[in-house]
Structure 1
Amino acid sequence: MALYGYTIGEDRDSNASNGKQLDVYRFLIPSAPTGSITPTKVGTIDIAGTVTNADLEGLATNPTTGNVIAVNEARATNPPNPIDPVVIVANVDQKSITSPTHTPSDLHRFGFESGADFSKQQNALYNISGNKTANLGGEPVGSSLYKITTGNPGTISLVDGFGPATTAAQRQGTQPTNPGKFADGLAIDNLNPGKTRAFASDFHTSDGNGNNLYKVDLLTGELSAPIALRTPSGQPLNVNADSDLSFTNFGSQRLIGWLETGAVYEITGYQDELAASGLTLGSATGSNGAGFATATLLGNVTLPNALATTPVQYEGFTIANK
């Protein structure tokens, strides 16, 4: 048994008439910093061309079955029409596809970027979606958390229990539930479950708020004040790419960050922030006075065309014990 990272590339075939082909790769998670990491292609997911936004950005591992599950990006067109399909590819090795029912029926997922993870405690898949800029579909900057129940087809609902009553604009994707906070990666701690034992990630500098983690309350959908990411030398992390995040929920726990370019980071110091009395949801400082964690580059996965002039993006990431 070994810890493997999984990622899925964008559609590699521009011919829409024959649908979309998304390649699945896996690679060993290194135990210490290394150079390049060689992946193995383990399959291809074929999705009908009628699904306009089949970009599997949110990857998660079911801690009970060990199966890898993928969720597509949030939307391809402006709200409120059409209702965006939520394509879920369960068990990527078998490529079964389902689409959960929106609850209530006027619900739309907010934003263009997505991350996902599975909560064993809640027996549900969670998806975080948002935009890093206001000009994508005319939507404001922000992130929202969604809960997807298991089953076929299952349901998807907005998690929004920390402020005023949910508005129609929030349900329909024209107003965020966490304004000014963009996150596109999600990791849930299934070894030490709790309502804030989850993190969202933002590895963008272009969205105006730097490279950060956020604590996530799975019961209310609230994101904390930002936890700044630093290099091992103490400098602010300065990368600019879509990201994802995953816990190793097996054995000795680790938190691993991922960039769409194939860069793999190990994040440490977050334990202090989870326990920090000053960094509760919505506060500004942690026990160390600033609220930060350290991101150490473990290596770069050599994925096809990830660094090309017009790159294939590998935005989703999860870890499985295989």
Structure 2
Amino acid sequence: MKAPCFREWFAALPALNQPQRLQVLDALRPAAGLHEVLALIEQCRSPGRRCPHCRCERWNRHGHANDLQRYRCFSCRRTFNDLTGTPLARLRLKGKWLDYLETLRASRPVRAAADEVKVHRNTAFRWRHRFLDRVKEDRPARLSGIAEADEMFILESQKGSRKLDRPARKRGGTASRRGISRELDCILVARDRSRQTVDTVTGRGPVSKVQLERHLLPFLDRDVLLVTDANAAYRAFARAHGIAHQAVNASAGERLRLGPQGPIHVQNVNAYHGRLREWLMPFHGVASRYLPNYLGWRRMLDGGNITSADQLFRLAVGPIHSRR
């Protein structure tokens, strides 16, 4: 639009009635959202930008494509943009990303998020797991002091799969066997008294010493006191690695006892289990293959560290190009 036409149009804005103003704001929202997203991408990527193909730090600008600045590497001569190599590569409708991230912060189901952002429900589902791909890796480096650990189990689900390796269950169904079996996904949650949380899907069935070594050991501080229930796998794990360990025998009615470092219980981690189960209910079943994404999503919300869509976007992009 030429400048005189723009000035004439801009001067007429005060004459618009309320519905017309809302219509103009809705029309301008994607453009404003696109500008904000492009500015965030530039802020995240400009420090330490490097070629995602060969890690070379020398590049030159090479035009624009899909609203993004392209670059050409001096070494391998391949082109890239600031989203190449990230989970957000090749996603469209960038102007709606921040609005969608607000629906993630509000834990909206797929259809509700799609209606709110005005995209197809398949797009909303795809965006959900692209944006959460890096969020699930955002864990604390170490658990220190008194760290509680316990497992929770949910029914294994192949929701959305074209082929099942078992007979189909109607509306979720229930396990065919009582107790802890291979029909249940095991979610290990460890949480210290400063509310630092580590969670992971260890597999199906009861947790083992080998799984604890793989999923829990890297996050435990050397001087940590590990508090668990009476599961023998924890006792063998702690003994093998010289970790201070206290067990609470809940089956014998023991809930809490006093120790030299403070109260010995697993109530914090069990409370987290309860919040996680309640939070999962509106989704009406989560496919097992996507369960790590939902765990990261819930951990992000429970920590309260993500207070805006901008912060979530920075976490979703991740420092791919600057990693060594």
Larger Rg: 2
> Counting helix residues as a fraction of each chain, which structure ranks higher?
2
* TM-score class normalised by the smaller sequence: under 0.3
With structure 1 as the length reference, what TM-score do the two structures score? 0.24
With structure 2 as the length reference, what TM-score do the two structures score? 0.24
